[in-house]
Amino acid sequence: MTPSDVKATLSFSDGSPSMDLPLYKGSIGPDVIDIRKLYGQTGKFTYDPGFLSTASCNSTITYIDGDKGELLYRGYPIEQLAKNCDFLETCHLLLYGDLPDEAQKKDFTARVSNHTMVNEQMQFFLRGFRRDAHPMAIMTGLVGALSAFYHDSTDINNPVHRDIAAIRLIAKMPTLVAMAYKYTQGQPYMYPKNKLSYSANFMQMMFANPCEDYEQNDVLVRAMDRIFILHADHEQNASTSTVRLCGSSGTNPFAAIAAGVACLWGPSHGGANEACLNMLGDIQKMGGVEKIGEFIKQVKDKNSTVKLMGFGHRVYKNYDPRATLMRETCHEVLGALGLQNDPLFKLAMALEKIALEDDYFVSRKLYPNVDFYSGIVQRAIGIPVPLFTAIFALARTVGWVAQLNEMIGDPEYKIGRPRQLYVGAVARDVKPIGDR
Ligand code: SDX
């Protein structure tokens, strides 16, 4: 980061001494005001719950311009990556800073393929869950449990450990998600087949069974791969910030990623794709397109807690570029499956059109985000709704790991420890219970 020749001067109306704060410029995007010395010099904290105006770190991985609706992974526009690359190339880009050449791609693919199996003991964890457990409850447990098996890659301060843990996590997430799914279905687990591509392997672990040959549908494999690319990373979102804060204590990478899985589950974050599809189902039950107006009225009613799931974003105040690409994938998948008239897809498009013409959404700059269409695509592929967020976690694991490794690799990093504005009781004495 480059020191700016502009300074910020903080002055106080009560005559307290003012303070110059340095500014830094990034390569693109907003400058930052360095407040690291603020408390030491003024005895005051800044106050920013929800971190609406706070940069928690400097990063070279992902850039988002919310006003333009722009998303870059290591400088490459998401539109170009989605159209010209596959997920493993994107993983290499996010982890190591550039797209692989042929030889590097071959080597990286081989390294990932060699780690797709999980320890046979892992299946005994699953047996402890109810068959109807939510897949994210299972995934939170399984990912954390990985640290019980890989003691040779848990020293986060050892770059070799960090790299092998990254490969293991990327390689094993599809296996774990497929196992979580098969467990809820009461079906036998399918082992990875390393001769298949990453996404084709995931599809066979999900949908094949030992009794018959499984035939891949290339359109669905490509759609799954694109879903992984679109969800791979997204700057300092809630779950990535969780992984960074958790990892900053020096805990092992598996535990830090498990914290990210837990955070992603929330309906305001990665859980929105499941919530969005349930919302479309509810509108369908109300009567479909004709009832959209009635539903929108509920959303606008301040006394209701109803939100238009899959709409709105902390950063995007324009179209989420991933939503545009996801809508395209919707058309491709539904077309390939002869489901062009899928009622939920038609309902989603009608809902999107109506919302984008309604001043409530336009005035608040609420546009479709990545979750608005991803559920429809996943449903068409055959992914059950409760598994949508686990798929998101599978894809986001590479982003979490890349961000975690970037932080740990920065010699300046410290354990994250925010302060607070205390508004509770001042010191008081404990009274004997009889006098309370
Ligand atoms: C993801 O951060 C990331 O990058 C996340 C993510 C990633 O890749 O990691 O992009 C993935 O989490 C996408 C977002 C998925 N969530 C949803 O689709 C859930 C629905 N969206 C909302 O919950 C909301 O838009 C948030 C949580 C996403 C963002 O909320 P903010 O930035 O805190 O904005 P806000 O809640 O302050 O909303 C501003 C106004 C409020 O109205 P007023 O108080 O001004 O009257 O907009 C309203 C909100 O009530 N609003 C909505 C709305 N989203 C915001 N009203 C109806 N429906 C919505 N979806």
pLDDT tens readout for residues 91-100? 999 999 999 9
Atom 21 of ligand 1 has which residue's CA nearest to it?
312
Helix (H) or strand (E) holding 21: strand 19-25
Name the band, by pLDDT with cuts 50, 70 and 90, for residue 341: confident
Give the whole-number percent of the chain exceeding pLDDT 90.
91
**What is the mean predicted confidence (pLDDT) over 200-218?**
97
313 lines ligand 1 (CB under 6 A): yes
Pure H helices in 248-369? 253-264, 272-286, 292-300, 321-336, 343-356, 359-363
Tokens coding 291? 């009832």
Specify the residue with its C-alpha closest to ligand 1, atom 23.
Answer: 268
Please report which confidence band the pLDDT of residue 333 belongs to, taking 50, 70 and 90 as the band edges: very high
The residue whose C-alpha atom lies closest to atom 49 belonging to ligand 1 is: 364
- Residue-averaged pLDDT of the chain: 95
Give 138's Cβ-side CA count (13 Å radius).
30
Calpha distance 308→72 (Å, rounded): 26
Please report where in the chains the tokens 């797209």 appear, as a residue.
Answer: 99
End-to-end CA distance of the chain: 57
Distances 318 to 72, 78, 356, 370 between C-alpha atoms, Å: 15, 15, 11, 12
* Chain centroid offset of residue 116 CA: 21
| Interval 386-402 mean pLDDT | 97
Burial class (CB in 10 A: 0-12, 13-18, 19+), 366: buried
Percent over 70 (pLDDT), the chain = 100
3-state secondary structure labels for all residues of 96-128? HCCCCCHHHHHHHHHHHHCCCCCCCCHHHHHHC
Distance CA 123, CA 118 (A): 9
Confidence category of residue 150, pLDDT binned at 50, 70, 90: confident
What pLDDT sits at residue 387? 96
**Residue 190 CB coordination number (10 Å):** 19
Classify residue 119 as exposed, middle or buried by CB count within 10 Å of its CB (0-12, 13-18, 19+): middle
pLDDT range class, residue 157, cuts 50, 70, 90: confident
What is the pLDDT, as a whole number, of residue 152? 76
pTM for this one?
0.95
Q: How many helices (H) and strands (E) does the chain have?
A: 18, 6
**How many residues would you count in the chain?**
436
Nearest CA to 376 out of 338, 336, 349 is that of 349
Q: Is 190 helix (H, G, I), strand (E, B) or coil?
A: coil
pLDDT band of residue 156 (cuts 50, 70, 90) is confident
pLDDT tens sequence across 275-319:
999 999 999 999 999 999 999 999 999 999 999 999 999 999 988
Is 331 known to be catalytic? no
pLDDT tens digits along 160-207: 999 999 999 999 999 999 999 999 999 999 999 999 999 999 999 999
Contact 90, 73 (CB under 8 A): yes
Q: Which helix (H) or strand (E) holds 219?
A: helix 218-230
- pLDDT tens digits for 112-139? 999 999 999 999 999 999 999 999 999 9
Respond yes or no: is residue 92 known to be catalytic. no
Using the predicted structure, report yes or no on whether residue 222 has a pLDDT greater than 90: yes
* Banded model confidence at residue 417, pLDDT cuts 50, 70, 90: very high
Q: Which of the listed residues 239, 269, 305 should we mutate to test ligand 1's pocket, taking the one with most ligand atoms within 8 A of CB?
A: 269
Q: Is the pLDDT of residue 153 over 80?
A: no
Q: How confident is the model at residue 56 (pLDDT cuts 50, 70, 90)?
A: very high
Question: Residue 9's beta-bridge partner residues?
Answer: 20
Active-site option among 161, 231, 313, 320: 313
| Ligand 1 probe mutation, 311, 320, 356, most atoms within 8 A of CB | 311
d(CA 299, CA 37): 44
Rounded to the nearest angstrom, the distance between the alpha carbon of 308 and the centre of ligand 1 is 9
- Stretch 260-287: mean pLDDT, rounded? 94
